[in-house]
Structure 1
Amino acid sequence: MAEPYTQPSINDFGPVKVPKDHVFVLGDNRLESADSREFGPIPIRSIIGRADVIVYPLNHLKWL
């Protein structure tokens, strides 16, 4: 995924193959996040929450 707004040191973790029925999650604070870069792809069946609203940026505020 192209993310020109991130610093190269936190953007470069190489290509990743995500198995079927899994997701690759990234934290919003890349320097401090424990995410799929550390733990690998997550089985979809392990996800127990859901997003209900987008709050930022404010011009994209909406209920999902």
Structure 2
Amino acid sequence: MRRIPTEEHRRAVRETVLEVTAALAAEHGLRGVTMSRIVEGTGFVGDLLVKASGPVRCATT
């Protein structure tokens, strides 16, 4: 049985993702921020990022 993430868990995931994303953008620029690098930087599974974070909007278009 799968656990449904709580709002507190979602907030923690979002905060971690934002921190890692900001660090990646500072190091590689916006075009260097990829889902693969975010997954690697957070240690989260890619599906968790999508489910916990919600829709992703592209900042480079």
| Structure with bigger gyration radius | 1
Question: TM above 0.5, one fold?
Answer: no
- Give TM-score, length-normalised by structure 1: 0.22
Which structure dedicates a bigger proportion of its chain to helix? 2
Asked which structure has the greater RCO (Cα within 8 Å, sep 6+), the reply is: 2
